[in-house]
Structure 1
Amino acid sequence: MRVEMWTDVACPWCYVGRKHFREGLAAFAHHDRVEVVHRSFELNPDAENGTVPIIDAVAAQYGRTREQQVAREEQAAAMANAVGLDFRVGGRVFGNTFDVHRLSHFAGTRGLRGEFLDHAFRVNFAEEASIYDRETLVGLAVAAGLEEAEVREVLDHPDAFAEEVRTDERLAAELGAGGVPFFVMDRRYGVSGVQAPSMFTQALEQAWADRPAA
């Protein structure tokens, strides 16, 4: 069975949702027969990289007060902490994740896409280092097991793996995904948002039971 997982490294709910999915998958009896495919989704494809604090930028984007946005961040942090993830509130900046997604596809050609995304999420939320800074991005890619010279070459060529990112995003739109995290099981069942691990286990069990007969 194949599970496709759309996420954006800038999304706090994806940070938590990925961990919930992993816990739900671990509890699934046939977890060793599930292929997980990571796919790209940009929450803010038109964003420019800069120094605007994420809380101020997202509050303005959704018409919230700063206090309301801080409360949402603290809610996400509490959910992350509850499943053993570190999450700092207040230090991230707003930016464009297209290069992160391009590098994730390159990492996939080396069998390291999951590892790369793990590092990127951790750097963004646990360390609050800017994933939009080139050297930070290179450093986390190398920490995930990629070769530095190859990482820099991908970043130096804006078209490298760009179409792969856009293909993922077109597919998400075709499947009706308006946000992330978004999970699709064998192209028949969709699960969106931060669900409890048990919800993922149940969805996997249903998708497994409803597989076409061989």
Structure 2
Amino acid sequence: MSERVTQPEGSQIVIEMWADLGCPWCYVGKHRLQAAISQRPDADRFTIRMRSFELDPGAPRELEKNEDSFIRTHGGTVAHVLQAERQMQAMARKEGLEYSIDRLNANTFDLHRVVQYAGDQGRGFEFFSDVQDGFFTGALNPFDPDALAGVAESAGLDGRRVREILAGDEYADRVRADRAEGLELGATGVPFVVLDRRVAAPGARKVAGYAQLLEQVAGPAPEERVS
């Protein structure tokens, strides 16, 4: 999926981002994408739409240490996991992002169901971003329904509605459909970004890399145009 035909100047561009809560590269890549957009004078042309992609659908609902979660799915030792996490932490901090290695993980399916609701309200990316930022900075337990409802309310959503969703199974089919669609489009992991349904970008690109993709689908930023 890659076309170089750009949209007319001023037209709206939808960027779909498949991601999962506990994915460190999603956390970094999300901020890089936002930085690339913010550098353009026409930043308001771009809308990021959150799409669900569980990396570990079989993860337990009970909280487990981050290193235990990684070893369960990838193997290795605690020492190896901590070394990789410290490297990730150092890289994130160089980019101005806080990064806690003392995280607890659990199944993210219910969170994705709430993200689907938030998306219906036009706040899907903002809600997911707030939750993920809180998770990686160590300020939030996103597996606590009350904490999740609190973030939702701060994002202008209905906290009571969030609790209702968490208590049932609403949006379950849509979470599964999102993941299936991502796989069909070529995602083998996340982050996976699709710009304007024409250009697919797997992995966490650098800010400059995302900027090139934005130019590919939207044309040069206005101040770069030759009169």
Do Structure 1 and Structure 2 share a fold, with TM-score over 0.5?
yes
**What's the counterpart of residue 111 of structure 1?**
122
Deviations 1:103-159 (Å, cap 9, x if unpaired)? 11111222222221122112211125432232332232223222221111111211x
Q: Give 5+ residue unaligned stretches, structure 2.
A: 1-12, 220-227
Q: How many residues align?
A: 208
**What's the counterpart of residue 161 of structure 2?**
150
**What's the counterpart of residue 98 of structure 2?**
86
Which 4+ residue blocks in structure 1 deviate beyond 6 angstroms?
A: none
Q: Secondary structure at the match of 1:145?
A: coil
Deviations 1:29-69 (Å, cap 9, x if unpaired)? 54322232111110111111223211122023212221111
Match status 1:56 vs 2:68: yes
**What's the counterpart of residue 177 of structure 2?**
167
Q: Give 5+ residue unaligned stretches, structure 1.
A: 210-214
Matches within 5 A, 1:1-80: 1-28=13-40, 30-80=42-92
* Paired AA for residue 208 in structure 2: S
1:178 positional shift: 0.9
Match status 1:138 vs 2:149: yes
| Counterparts of 1:33 and 1:143, CA distance in 2 | 25
Q: Which deviates the most, 76-85 or 66-75?
A: 76-85
| Counterparts of 1:29 and 1:175, CA distance in 2 | 30
| Counterparts of 2:94 and 2:197, CA distance in 1 | 31
Q: Secondary structure at the match of 2:137?
A: helix
TM-score normalised to structure 1 length: 0.89
| Counterparts of 1:98 and 1:69, CA distance in 2 | 24
1:186 touches 1:207 (CA, 8 Å); kept in 2?
yes
C-alpha change, 1:102 and 1:23, in structure 2 (3 Å) is: same
1:183 counterpart (186, 189, 193)? 193
* Paired AA for residue 119 in structure 1: D
Match status 1:208 vs 2:223: no
Instruction: Pick the structure with greater CA Rg.
Output: 2
| Counterparts of 2:72 and 2:101, CA distance in 1 | 17
| Counterparts of 1:144 and 1:75, CA distance in 2 | 32
Q: Secondary structure at the match of 2:134?
A: helix
Q: Taking every aligned residue pair, what percent have the same amino acid on both sides?
A: 36
2:49 touches 2:124 (CA, 8 Å); kept in 1?
no
TM-score normalised to structure 2 length: 0.84
Q: Secondary structure at the match of 2:64?
A: coil
Q: Secondary structure at the match of 1:139?
A: helix
